[in-house]
Chains A and B, each alone.
Chain A
């Protein structure tokens, strides 16, 4: 038996072809006479064969597209201008930022000279181009997560801007004009934005302010989509939100959670238990009256560009799902059990919408959890987790494969000014104002 044990220890190395010739022949000699060890070796072999045979699939086409889109969005200046590309190759060794600055300087001089020799119409186009460059300089080469809102307005008023600064002449063939003329709403929808507010109460009547949430993953696409359009991004803040929270918001759960529109927190005066609601930059959009100003204890906190302003009673805001589950006779997973499943202690969490699926032999549980990180008694981050695991009540432990899924979709909160378009019709040389999409149809 001792022999068998020794042989089995050598089997892996044997199959990996890492035995010396002597060891190999002694193993082979043993296998020839020992049925038990031969069976073990055969099993090992078939396991290895299966491992080797795992099929490969081609990478999806989206991979390359996405990578390039993101990298290009990170360095828009370099991509756009051949002059900058040239400069960049000169300055590469000194770091990209230097190249950006230098490129911009030269470009501005270059454009300035050109400007003096251009007819008025083109001049505007060039102005616009150079505006765009100067705006992008601080953002270039920075990872999205470090994007700071450009002079974020916090007082509730829009950032000052020059009257008519966004007027743009769209020239070119009809197809080009039409491409640019996708109504902004449609464009936003296309990129999965959730429009929060549209305001026309701006000094320049021809401009409209949009505030919306955009899945951060789509930001690069979106940024490309609006390139060349007469829009100006005022503010981009990272929002540690999640798809789940937004769903909750859409379903009216959590009371005022992520409710950026309504200034009245429905349950500000109710007892505070576990919940803290975030009004993400809401103050800036709608001149929300912050409840704190009326004497509610917590002061608004800024974290990642999100201000935490209101407290609501999450327990009271529990959705009907719990009752429904109860009515259906479905069991509600207890907090402790969910902790068992995930195996992770949480500082503060609620499961507002638990589901239990009782299978034939095992049960699957899923619950939505809202987790808040507390620092010195203040909420500094809010994330939503969807726990999803197989829990064996008998074994009191997660079954194979149990795990927790975190919804990692984060959103950017974006404020954007959309200017009125001026259309240039090359057939008769006329310039018309107004919504391009309508005037052209």
Chain B
């Protein structure tokens, strides 16, 4: 069924694409969410992914699964997104472009919530998973990306290599370093 929908998309059939989106939207959105760390960016990115996918669907040859192809687009776009520094990741919950308050002149200063509580607070108040998510976000993007693909999305080395367009050796060594980094960050909580 997916194959037939893709064929229709290639002919420019938007309704077919509309049927195709729900089959993949959760996985792509979640991947985007993990890569970028907040819902707004994830939604933007996922939107870009699907639009890009439709625009260049004729280049999808069907050698690999459609989902892998979408994955590659997601990872590539996330890379660009990250490089351009457009992520709002650290500004979650804070809008600096909003006026401070309607009564700005009364002298109240902008209060920036601290998203990085100390280790003790974290251990006391949060589950390991929360801590992990937070620590993942503070890893370099390349490390986070590869950890997500490997352990959360469950891709094989081979698949990661395809997605990131590098060789398996690079995947292995990057994964090794990423794990070491993450381990270092997580050490106090394990």
Contacts and interface: CB of A to CB of B under 8 A. Distances in A.
Interface of A: 12, 43-44, 46-48, 50-60, 62-64, 66-68, 70-72, 75, 78-79, 88-89, 92, 96, 99, 242-244, 247, 250-251, 320, 324-325, 327-328, 330, 344, 355, 357, 359, 361-362, 364, 366, 368, 386, 388-390, 399-409
Contacts of A57: 26, 29-30, 33
B89 A403 contact: yes
Contacts of A43: 183, 187, 190
Interface stretch (B16-24, B64-72, B158-166): B16-24
A46 B109 CA distance: 42
Given A50-B128, A59-B46, A364 B112 contact: yes
B179 interface: yes
B30 A386 contact: no
B97 A52 contact: no
Interface in B32-64: 33-34, 39, 43, 46-47, 50-51, 54
**CB-CB nearest 9 A-B residue pairs:** A59-B29, A400-B138, A51-B151, A59-B25, A43-B190, A243-B97, A67-B50, A386-B96, A401-B138
Nearest to B132: A50
Given A67-B47, A403-B90, 10 more contacts: A64-B25, A67-B54, A68-B14, A68-B18, A75-B12, A78-B12, A242-B97, A247-B97, A357-B109, A399-B116
B4 interface: no
A88 B12 contact: yes
B129 A330 contact: no
Interface string B71-89: 0000000000000111111
A273 to B, nearest CB: 24
B116 A390 contact: yes
B110 interface: yes
B3 interface: no
B151 to A, nearest CB: 4
Contact of B18 (A64, A247, A409): A64
B5 interface: no
A51 B29 contact: no
Nearest to B131: A50
Contact of A401 (B14, B84, B85, B137): B137
A282 to B, nearest CB: 22
B110 A247 contact: no
A38 B187 CA distance: 15
B103 interface: no
B90 A402 contact: yes
Contacts of B27: 56
Contact of B51 (A44, A52, A54, A70): A70
A357 B100 CA distance: 14
A57 to B, nearest CB: 7
A52 B151 contact: yes
A345 to B, nearest CB: 13
A357 B151 contact: no
Interface residues of B, number: 64
B46 A63 contact: yes
Contacts of A78: 12, 14
B28 A54 contact: no
B68 to A, nearest CB: 18
B125 interface: no
A383 B132 CA distance: 34
Interface hub of B28, B97, B186 (most chain A Cβ within 10 A): B97
Contacts of B98: 247
B91 interface: yes
A290 B145 CA distance: 50
B87 A88 contact: no
Nearest to B152: A54
Contact of A71 (B39, B54, B86, B129): B54
| Most B CB within 10 A of own CB, among A64, A243, A327 | A64
Contacts of B114: 359, 362, 364, 390
Among A60, A88, A242, A251, find the residue whose CB has the most chain B CB atoms closer than 10 A. A60
Nearest to A61: B25
Nearest to A89: B11
Among A51, A53, A244, A368, the one with the most B-chain Cβ atoms within 10 Å of its Cβ is A51
B135 to A, nearest CB: 8
A405 B96 contact: yes
A251 B105 CA distance: 11
A325 B107 CA distance: 8
Contact of B14 (A12, A56, A79, A399): A79
B28 A59 contact: yes
Contact of B84 (A63, A72, A406): A406
A124 to B, nearest CB: 30
Given A51-B132, A401-B138, A402-B90, A355 B97 contact: no
B151 A60 contact: no
A365 B132 CA distance: 25
A59 B91 CA distance: 21
A251 B30 CA distance: 38
A384 to B, nearest CB: 8
B138 A50 contact: no
Contact of A355 (B10, B110, B138, B183): B110
Contacts of B18: 64, 68
B108 to A, nearest CB: 9
Nearest to B128: A50
A405 B128 CA distance: 27
Residue from B29, B47, B89, B176 having most chain A Cβ neighbours under 10 A: B47
A358 to B, nearest CB: 10
Contacts of A243: 97
B167 interface: no
